[in-house]
Amino acid sequence: QLQLQESGPGLMKPSETLSLTCTVSGASISSGSYYCAWIRQPPGKGLEWIGTFYYSGSTYYNASLKSRVTMSKDTSKNQFSLKLSSVTAADTALYYCATVYRQRYFDYWGQGTLVTVSS
Amino acid sequence: QSALTQPASVSGSPGQSITISCTGISSDVGVYDYVSWYQQHPGKAPKLMIYDVTNRPSGVSSRFSGSKSGNTASLTISGLQSEDEADYYCSTYTTRGTILIFGGGTRLTVL
Q: How confident is the model over B58-85, as pLDDT tens digits?
A: 999 999 999 999 999 999 999 999 999 9
Q: How far apart are alpha carbons A43 and A46 in whole angstroms?
A: 8
What is the distance in angstroms between the Cα of A68 and the nearest Cα belonging to chain B?
14
pLDDT tens figures, A70-117: 999 888 999 999 999 999 999 999 999 999 988 899 999 999 999 999
Q: Chain A to chain B, count of Cβ pairs less than 8 Å apart?
A: 62
pLDDT tens figures, A15-47: 999 999 999 998 888 777 778 999 999 999 999
Residue A54 sits at the chain B interface (C-beta within 8 Å): no
**Mutation for A interface: B91, B93, B99, most A CBs within 10 A:** B99
Q: Which residues does chain B have within 8 Å of residue A64's beta carbon, measured at their own beta carbons?
A: 98
What is the distance in angstroms between the Cα of B58 and the nearest Cα belonging to chain A?
11
